[in-house]
Amino acid sequence: MSETIELRAFMGLTDVFRQRGWDNPTTIDVPGETSGPKLLALLELPREAVEVVFVNGKAASPEAAVVRGGDRVALAPPGVPGPYRVLLGFRKMG
């Protein structure tokens, strides 16, 4: 059963959305619980275009992300300044 998520894009990905004629934010259907890699495949976005997937305001790598119907999802490409990538939990340290 397909479910709807609200999807946002930031930085250079806003240009990709615009070129494809998508609103930002937009809503898309996902086939139930969907992994980050499956979401990117669904959106036809390469892995390297996305550093972090926000799901309901929490950052995760695309590999760790899981989205479900009703979620607020956002895609951030590489380019978020370093301290914030650490402070917001994008980047594993150590």
Partner 1 sequence: MPQFIRIDMGTKTVKTEACPEQYAGLAGRGLTSIFVADEVKPTCHPLGKYNKLIFAPGFLTGTSAANSGRLSCGAKSPLTGGIKESNTGGTFGQKMAKMDIKAIVFEGLPTEDKYYVVKVTMDGVTIEEAPAETIGMGNYEAIKVLQAKYGPKVGVAIIGPAGEMRLTGANISFADPQSNIRSAGRGGLGAVMGSKKIKAVIIDDTGAKGVTIAHPEAFKGASKRFTNALTTHPVTGQGLPKYGTNVLVNILNEAGGLPTKNFREGRNAWANNIGGETMAATIEARGGKTTHGCHAGCIIRCSQHYHDKEGKYLTSGFEYETVWALGANGCIDDLDAIAYADREFDDVGVDSIETAVAVNVAQEAGIIPWGDAKAMLDLILEIRKGTPLGRIVGSGAAAVGQMYGVTRVPVVKNQSIPAYDPRAVKGVGLTYATTPMGADHTAGYAVATNILKVGGFVDPLGKEGQVELSRNLQIATAAVDSTGMCLFIAFAILDIADGFNALVEMINAKYDLALTGDDVVALGKTILKAERGFNQRAGFTNAHDRLPEFFEEKCAPHGVTWDFTDAEIDEVFNF
Closest by Cα among 47, 78, 80, 77 to 62: 47
Q: Per-residue contact track with partner 1, 28 to 67, x per CB under 8 A?
A: --------------------------x-xxxx--------
Asked if 82 touches partner 1 (CB under 8 A), the answer is: yes
| Minimum distance of partner 1 from residue 4's CB (angstroms) | 18
Q: Please count the residues of this chain forming the interface with partner 1, following the rule CB under 8 A.
A: 30
Beta-sheet pairing, 66-67 with 34-35: antiparallel
> What sign does the CA torsion over 81, 58, 75, 11 have?
negative
Residues composing the chain: 94
Q: Which residues bind partner 1 (CB under 8 A)?
A: 8, 10-12, 14, 24, 54, 56-59, 74, 76-89, 91-94
